[in-house]
């Protein structure tokens, strides 16, 4: 089903000039994730993060070329340990 929609979209973009993408596109996304299966056995928190996308259209092509980067975190843990065994008063 998805491949049919992609094929129809590309066909329309090739033959109808008004449907061409702009010369470039920029997007920012906020992410939310839920651990599943084996990962859920070690992590119980929901994940959250941010993503971004930049793409450009070369010439009159119906395709975009770009980069999509996303970062998600499922929590953190903090602990104080000595910086050195010979200097226990300095924590890192």
pTM greater than the 0.75 cutoff: no
Beta bridge partners of 17: none
> In terms of Cα–Cα distance, which of 27, 42, 29 is closest to 72?
29
What confidence score (pLDDT) does residue 81 get?
78
Low-confidence ranges of the chain (pLDDT < 50): none
What pLDDT sits at residue 60? 79
Residue 80: predicted pLDDT:
80
H-helix segments, 16-87: 37-42
For residue 14, the number of C-alpha atoms closer than 13 Å in the C-beta half-sphere is 6
Helical segments of the chain, H only? 2-15, 37-42
């Amino acid at each position: 089903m998805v491949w049919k929609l992609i094929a129809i979209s590309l066909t329309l973009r090739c033959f109808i000039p008004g449907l061409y993408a702009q010369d470039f596109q920029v997007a920012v996304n906020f992410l939310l994730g839920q651990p599943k299966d084996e990962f859920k056995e070690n992590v119980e928190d929901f994940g959250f993060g941010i993503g971004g996308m930049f793409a450009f259209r070369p010439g009159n092509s119906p395709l975009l070329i770009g980069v999509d980067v996303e970062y998600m975190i499922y929590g953190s843990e903090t602990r104080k340990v000595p910086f050195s065994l010979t200097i226990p008063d300095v924590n890192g």
